[in-house]
Structure 1
Amino acid sequence: MNDVVWIQIFWSACVLAAVVAAVPAGRHRWARQVGRIAVGLLMLVGGALFNAVNLATGGDYGGFADDAHFDWVTSAWHAVVAPNQPLFIGLLVIYEATVGVLLLLGGRRTQLGYVGAIGFHLALWLFGWFVTIYALIIVPALVLLLLAERRAAAAAGTQPLTSPDDARVELTGR
């Protein structure tokens, strides 16, 4: 099997799972879990691992910005990133891996991971129509998943009152 085909299949499966899970994630724990795992693996395997292996085996990122929407993006890429690929792609790998791990850890870390994934995907639109269309699909799903995680965390933080003393503490703060 072609080395690139496996990552395309994996990437597509993760994106599809995240988009499908995003809709019911506000109501169902299983959907939040599916979304969290799909996006975490997308960032870890489809992003960090793929880019690390590609960089280690001599992959060239010099032309990545050739289809960018703005000339300044292409010029900046060729002037800054292309001649320093090990540094900048290495930093990208660290960022993607960090976001992926945060997403899989749960709680507030997952929320922070979603913020990182949203920011990453918002920056991608600059690099051409394919990634613009991809961003238009994945960013709303990421926002829905983040909102679902926030609602679930807020709901878990509100404990039902169990005694009159709890009610007094809740109302007075003492």
Structure 2
Amino acid sequence: MRGKTIEPLFTEADIAREIERLAGEIAARKPENILVVGVLKGSFVFTADLIRAMHRVGLAPEVEFISLSSYGSGTVGGDVRIVRDVEGEIAGRKVLIVDDILESGRTLRFARDLMLSRGATGAEIAVLLDKRMRRVAEIEADYVGFDCPDHFVVGYGMDVAHAFRELPFVGRVV
């Protein structure tokens, strides 16, 4: 997979601006006792940058991670399963689920429903990218960085065959 050309779609500076905007929108809702739940693996970079931006706007989020799978070894989604669960208590908490990209919606709908079933007082969703044209489940993100064109994207935590997660921008393989 290495040796491929990656065409940038969203630059490092674009992403930084959007994260600051998102943190401001989250803070404007004045969430108390907020728990950020990052969906691994793709969201780890976005989650880290978002919680630091949340700190800069006066929030003090706690952070957990969950690993969910709906793809298995292929690329067509199916049933969602928990690969690694959160460790802390969800009940009584306002939860912000953070993911890299909202496509079919299956995984994020599962995550939101799971958090609510465990007693979260609310479960909002923040995504860096939204591919609305790929949606099959009825769900929308509360906070969206960018509307994403219908390309397979990599970088900023997202990969293809475990490559390109380290890129500081989001791009497509050309």
TM-score by length of structure 2 reads 0.22
Bigger-Rg structure (1/2): 1
Structure with greater strand percent: 2
Q: TM-score by structure 1 length? A: 0.22
Which has a greater percent of helix?
1
